[in-house]
Structures are given as structure tokens and as C-alpha cells.
């Protein structure tokens, strides 16, 4: 299998299936494309070769392409049953899928105001955004509640016990909360640290820090690295 991704410092959607596959020991070859959204750019031409949607990530299994992060998770679950992509218990699996879908479709204020930027540390920006945007505070409050409910029900260490697709879906959220130093309670802080310390997520972060690439269109708050 191959996984086509974008810049590791910025590409939150690419991060999700990459860390899931790495954490669960599902072997794949990485194909990384440098973001460039100009018309007819090398990035756009390359992605169009892999996916009609023109977006990353894309999972390639021989000549078969699967795009969209949740679709990739479901494909991996079907291809590798028993490998822990989702919880084994039917109801826990349904709840995990519900949270993953909520992450996939929601939290727009957090996405818009706090784009993923792993190498940056922007606590002053985070404090300003937190004070100015009620929707951002509401997004973080909902995430805190969802995490707390799942962790208390499962006993941890991850949302449904062992690391699964739902934790991978929230991994970029963990980096955002750290980058912008948004205030969260101790339970959430401990979960964030556990996620960021898992080998799969830690490997992505190490690679992101090694990129040393600055893309101005991904940087609303910095003029340089």
C-alpha cells in the first residue's frame, strides 16, 4: 500500500491515516507531495493523478485508490480485521465512529482559527483567539466533554481503551491545542500528552519538525519560521 500525503507540518487530514497505520503496524510506503495550491501546480497535477477529488490523503492499494480520511479508515478496518482500527465491541465501535464523524464534519471554528502548525508555538495568538471567539470556546468545550465521557467509560488510556481510528482523528486537535496553548482541564491535558507520545504520532511530529518548510498560505499568524 501507498499513502499519498501533504506537508507533515500543516496537513492535518494526511496525519490521521498515517499515524493510525504507523501505530497499528500496517505497512505502507509514504508518498509526500509539497503543498502548492496555485492553478496547474505540480501538487495539483500529482494529486489529480491519484484521486479525482484532488485532495490528500489518498490510500493506494495496488491500483485501487481510496480518498477521504474516514473512507480510508473503513477500508483499513475491512482489509485488516482484528488489527484494532475500531473497537471490537459493537456499541463501542458505533460510539467511536460517531465521534470520528463528528470530528470529520464539525469544529469549524477550531479548524478555521487554529490551523495545524506543529513546529509553531503561538500562545499569544491562542489567548487572543480564545478571548475573541465564543465559537472556538464552544468547540473546545465540546471536545473536552467528548473526551471525558469516552475516557471515563473506557478507563483509558485512549478514548476507547487501545489506540484506534478515533484517537487518530483527534491527533491533529491535540497538536492544535498545544500550538495555541488553549486552556483545557487536566484530564484533557493528560490525554493530549498520551496521544502525542505514542510512537506513531511522535514519528509524524519528528518528521514535521524536520521539514523546515515555510508556506505563507498556510501561515495566518507568522511571517517566517
Model confidence pLDDT, tens digit, residues 147-201: 999 999 999 999 999 999 999 999 999 999 999 999 999 999 999 999 999 999 9
- In the numeric block, the cell 495539483 is attached to 44
For 40, 55, 59, 70, the CA distances from 62, given in Å and listed in that order, are: 26, 19, 10, 20
All domains in the chain, ordered by first residue: 2-83 (3.40.30.10), 90-206 (1.20.1050.10)
The pTM of the whole model exceeds 0.85: yes
Cα dihedral across residues 66, 205, 141, 153: positive or negative: positive
Cα dihedral angle (65, 68, 70, 75), rounded to 10 degrees?
0
Give the 3-state secondary structure of residue 19. Answer: helix
Smallest CA-to-CA distance from 205 within 214, 213, 196, 216 is with 196
- 218 and 181 in contact (C-beta within 8 Å)? no
Print burial letters for 59-95: b (CB count within 10 Å at least 16), e (below 16). Answer: bbeeeebbbbbbebbbbbbeeeeeebbbbeeeebbeb
- In the numeric block, the cell 496547474 is attached to 40
| Mean predicted lDDT score pLDDT of the chain | 97
Model confidence pLDDT, tens digit, residues 19-58: 999 999 999 999 999 999 988 899 999 999 999 999 999 9
- In the numeric block, the cell 481503551 is attached to 161
- In the numeric block, the cell 507533515 is attached to 8
In angstroms and rounded to an integer, the radius of gyration of the C-alpha atoms of the chain is 17
Amino acid at each position: 500500500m501507498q499513502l499519498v500525503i501533504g506537508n507533515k507540518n500543516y496537513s492535518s487530514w494526511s496525519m490521521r491515516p498515517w499515524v493510525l497505520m504507523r501505530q497499528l503496524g500496517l505497512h505502507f510506503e509514504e508518498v509526500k507531495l509539497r503543498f502548492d495550491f496555485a492553478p496547474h501546480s505540480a501538487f495539483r497535477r500529482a494529486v489529480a493523478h491519484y484521486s479525482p477529488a484532488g485532495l490528500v490523503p489518498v490510500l493506494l492499494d495496488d491500483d485501487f485508490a481510496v480518498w477521504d480520511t474516514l473512507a480510508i479508515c473503513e477500508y483499513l478496518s475491512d482489509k485488516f480485521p482484528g488489527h484494532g482500527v475500531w473497537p471490537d465491541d459493537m456499541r463501542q465501535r458505533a460510539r467511536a465512529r460517531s465521534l470520528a464523524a463528528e470530528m470529520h464534519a464539525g469544529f469549524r471554528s477550531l479548524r478555521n482559527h487554529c490551523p495545524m502548525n506543529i513546529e509553531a508555538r503561538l500562545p499569544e495568538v491562542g489567548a487572543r483567539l480564545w478571548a475573541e471567539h465564543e465559537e472556538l470556546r464552544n468547540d473546545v468545550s465540546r471536545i473536552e466533554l467528548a473526551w471525558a465521557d469516552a475516557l471515563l467509560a473506557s478507563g483509558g488510556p485512549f478514548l476507547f481503551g487501545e489506540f484506534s481510528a478515533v484517537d487518530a482523528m483527534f491527533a491533529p486537535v491535540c497538536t492544535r491545542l498545544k500550538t495555541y496553548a488553549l486552556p483545557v482541564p487536566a484530564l484533557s491535558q493528560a490525554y493530549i500528552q498520551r496521544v502525542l507520545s505514542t510512537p506513531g504520532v511522535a514519528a509524524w511530529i519528528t518528521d514535521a519538525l524536520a521539514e523546515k518548510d515555510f508556506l505563507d498560505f498556510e501561515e495566518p499568524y507568522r511571517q517566517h519560521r
